[in-house]
Amino acid sequence: MPTYNQPSFQEFRDQISIIELALHAGYEWQPKKGKTMPVLYHPGFDDHIVVKNPNDSANQVYFQTGSYSDRGTLINFVSNRLTSCFSQFNNSNRSPAQCVNDVLKDYLGIVPEQKKSVKKLEDYIHQSFHEVGTEKEFLLEHYMLSQLPAENYLTQERYIHPDLLTSPQFSGTISIQRVYFADGKPVSITGSEQPPNGERITETIAFPYIPGDNEAINGLELRTARFKSHASGSNRGHGVWISNLNDTVTNRIVVGESAIDLLSYRQLEISTGLHPQTDSRYASIGGSLSLDHLTTLGKFMDKSTQLVFGFDNDDKGARYALTALAALSRDGLAMTQASQQGYVALQVSSPAIQRQFSKLIAEHNIAMKTYMPPATGEVRDDLTKNMFHWRANASVSTLEIPINTALLNTVNTLLIEQGQFACSVAIVRPRGKDFNEDLKGELLRQVKRPILLVNAERGQILHRAKNEEAARLFLEKEMKSGRLANLPIGTNLKLIKTKVDQLIPTLQGEIGITPKGIEKTFTDTFKSKANRQRLDPTNEQGL
């Protein structure tokens, strides 16, 4: 029997590029979507991939947008798609490595004439990214950053309070780039410089990215009212924008999609009295999520630091949270390629988590049947798209999850409650699309009802009052009815007065639930304005 040497995986990588094989498998190049690396998209499986080192076939690597686990070399690319675009090679009688080998051998066996169109497009992609790959390098000195002025895009249009921007927590983490145009080209100038011929100056907010404390800036997130982008050559995967360390210990890091979201969230915490302490840091991943971001964030953490994911309240934000939880999981969770469009897939090797998800699926199916009338045709198809299911014949139990914000949030909540992770994790979600939208809504509410009763420990605003008198009447009623007394012993509430033009609210009083009953103290200002003549119903002394 004749023998032959089978090509090794490394030899396959030397002979076949990821771009080449992806184009052959039905991926389409999206030239408008990748300025520094090519983006390829498979419409049949709703799969976006980005390819690094496009001009070096032997060293090409890829990553799927929005995923931690779906990334790597040519071998990973094929292996992660044996249930989608390479499913015809997924043979249960052969090992995964043998199936990958079959895919690559099959492509190498195609006659050259059939590869010509693929090769022609691949060569064009290489040419398009040749200059990008050799010339783009981040150089901070090109941007001549200046100190942020008192009035800027953040304060004027995003409602970020000036006192927050100059606070020790954020001072020095935000700069401005001043540019004028000469002969159609941008020219950076310092904060005090003026253009030679009176040209119009454009001011751009710059959020510097760093890969670790005391490490050099390796990128910039640039924002104006009209655009958002990143400086050329920015190392977005290995850098994050992050607030300053205020306390000796960082109890938590709140991670969001943009620096503006994090500034808004922090302002909400302070102005509502829900988290005035400075034991946290706030980090932006710049609108995209990668495994490298978790590695970078780890440099700012110790064993006790909690990661709080505060992504946008939409499909993308929910997917980011899910992929982050999977990457940090100690229950054998892993994101994988979904078998159909409109879903994401989660491998679940833990029997305990499998049982929880099976229970979730059963409850969801009952709810769908109970509250949804019998449907046929397109309506039935739409309902089916909002159903969880386990993938059939999967070697590892794989949950297929509809790309639906509410359903993804349900999965994330279950994982937070039932899962085990490499560090403490939590999720905070905006009421609207993002936290800047929430901030604008909160400012409007504070104009109408500036007096807040807050349970900071539970992150709750229990009541809003339009003035001190209304607040006093509310408290009097609640103490008479016993509702406050029914709160757990040890609960501490704060009564605060907010002002839209004031970052830090004014303390009006405190209420504590003790074994002896309700103990309260109020400021003289609150007592004199709200209860000048009235008696405290639980105390003959005035409020």
Q: Which residue has the tokens 């609640």?
A: 478
Whether residue 540 is predicted with pLDDT greater than 50 in this model: the reply is no
- Average the pLDDT over 27-43 and give the result: 83
Q: How far is CA 423 from the centre of its chain?
A: 17
Of 283 and 111, the structure prediction assigns the larger pLDDT to 283
**Other CB atoms within 10 A of residue 356 CB:** 17
Give the model's pLDDT for residue 347: 94
Instruction: Report the chain's C-alpha Rg in angstroms.
Output: 28
Q: Which residue has the tokens 């991943």?
A: 285
Of 101 and 184, the structure prediction assigns the larger pLDDT to 101
C-alpha span between 268 and 273 (Å, rounded): 8
Contact status, residue 305 vs residue 253, Cβ threshold 8 Å? yes
Whether residue 134 is predicted with pLDDT greater than 50 in this model: the reply is no
Q: Is 207 helix (H, G, I), strand (E, B) or coil?
A: strand
**CA torsion, points 265, 266, 271, 276, in degrees to nearest 10?**
140
Q: Is 39 helix (H, G, I), strand (E, B) or coil?
A: strand
C-alpha span between 453 and 461 (Å, rounded): 6
Q: Determine which of 33-37, 90-94, 332-336, 508-512 has the lowest per-residue pLDDT on average.
A: 33-37
Whether residue 86 is predicted with pLDDT greater than 80 in this model: the reply is yes
Assign 59 a pLDDT band (cuts: 50, 70, 90). confident
Domain segments of the chain: what residues?
A: 9-135, 137-325+421-445, 330-406, 449-530
The tens digit of pLDDT for each residue in 218-244 reads 999 999 887 788 888 888 778 999 999
Give the model's pLDDT for residue 317: 95
What's the distance, Cα to Cα, between the start and end of the chain in Å? 100
Contacts with 531 (C-beta within 8 Å, 6 or more apart), sequence order? 472, 542, 543
Give the model's pLDDT for residue 383: 64
**CA torsion, points 350, 351, 354, 355, in degrees to nearest 10?**
-150
Give the model's pLDDT for residue 45: 83
- Average the pLDDT over 85-95 and give the result: 88
C-alpha span between 204 and 222 (Å, rounded): 6
Q: Determine which of 203-217, 358-372, 466-480 has the lowest per-residue pLDDT on average.
A: 358-372
Contact status, residue 466 vs residue 451, Cβ threshold 8 Å? yes
Of 381 and 174, the structure prediction assigns the larger pLDDT to 174
Q: What is the mean pLDDT of the chain?
A: 86
Give the model's pLDDT for residue 535: 42
Contact status, residue 336 vs residue 327, Cβ threshold 8 Å? no
Contact status, residue 138 vs residue 235, Cβ threshold 8 Å? yes
Query: What is the percent of the chain with per-residue pLDDT over 70, rounded to a whole number?
Result: 89
- Residue 233 Rama label (left phi>0; alpha psi -120 to 50; beta): left
C-alpha span between 480 and 522 (Å, rounded): 18
Give the model's pLDDT for residue 9: 54
C-alpha span between 3 and 430 (Å, rounded): 63
Give the model's pLDDT for residue 4: 33
Assign 2 a pLDDT band (cuts: 50, 70, 90). very low
Of 69 and 539, the structure prediction assigns the larger pLDDT to 69
Packed helices 435-448 and 259-271: angle between N→C axes, nearest 10 degrees: 30
pTM of the predicted model as reported, rounded to 2 decimal places: 0.77
The tens digit of pLDDT for each residue in 391-419 reads 988 889 999 999 999 999 999 999 999 99
CA distances to 133, 150, 173, 337 from 38, rounded to whole Å, are 11, 40, 31, 20
The tens digit of pLDDT for each residue in 167-178 reads 999 999 999 999
Give the model's pLDDT for residue 384: 64
Whether residue 100 is predicted with pLDDT greater than 60 in this model: the reply is yes
Range from 80-84, 268-272, 362-366, 382-386 that averages highest in pLDDT: 268-272
DSSP 33: G
- Which stretch of DSSP H or E encloses residue 154? helix 153-157
The residue type of 132 is V
Of 232 and 309, the structure prediction assigns the larger pLDDT to 309
Assign 259 a pLDDT band (cuts: 50, 70, 90). very high
The tens digit of pLDDT for each residue in 144-157 reads 899 999 999 999 99
Assign 136 a pLDDT band (cuts: 50, 70, 90). low
Query: What is the percent of the chain with per-residue pLDDT over 90, rounded to a whole number?
Result: 48
| Bridge partner list, 335 | 346
Give the model's pLDDT for residue 1: 31
Give the model's pLDDT for residue 275: 96
The residue type of 238 is H
Give the model's pLDDT for residue 237: 79
C-alpha span between 353 and 421 (Å, rounded): 13
CA distances to 186, 475, 540 from 537, rounded to whole Å, are 69, 10, 7
CA distances to 87, 139, 319, 371 from 403, rounded to whole Å, are 22, 39, 8, 21
Of 77 and 538, the structure prediction assigns the larger pLDDT to 77
Of 510 and 527, the structure prediction assigns the larger pLDDT to 510
Whether residue 333 is predicted with pLDDT greater than 60 in this model: the reply is yes
Assign 528 a pLDDT band (cuts: 50, 70, 90). low
Burial class (CB in 10 A: 0-12, 13-18, 19+), 514: exposed
Assign 6 a pLDDT band (cuts: 50, 70, 90). very low
Q: Kindly report the backbone phi and psi dihedral angles of residue 411, in degrees, each rounded to the nearest multiple of 5, phi listed first.
A: -65, -45
Q: What angle do CA 408, 409, 414 make, to 5 degrees?
A: 100
C-alpha span between 60 and 74 (Å, rounded): 7
- The DSSP result for 367-378, as a single string, is HHHHHS----HH
- Average the pLDDT over 345-363 and give the result: 94
- The DSSP result for 251-280, as a single string, is -EEEEESSHHHHHHHHHHHHHTTS--S--E
Strand runs (DSSP E) across 337-455, as ranges?
343-348, 389-390, 398-402, 424-427, 451-455
Q: How far is CA 196 from the centre of its chain?
A: 43
Whether residue 537 is predicted with pLDDT greater than 90 in this model: the reply is no
Of 270 and 85, the structure prediction assigns the larger pLDDT to 270
Give the model's pLDDT for residue 52: 87
- Average the pLDDT over 276-302 and give the result: 91
Q: Is 529 helix (H, G, I), strand (E, B) or coil?
A: helix
Whether residue 465 is predicted with pLDDT greater than 70 in this model: the reply is yes
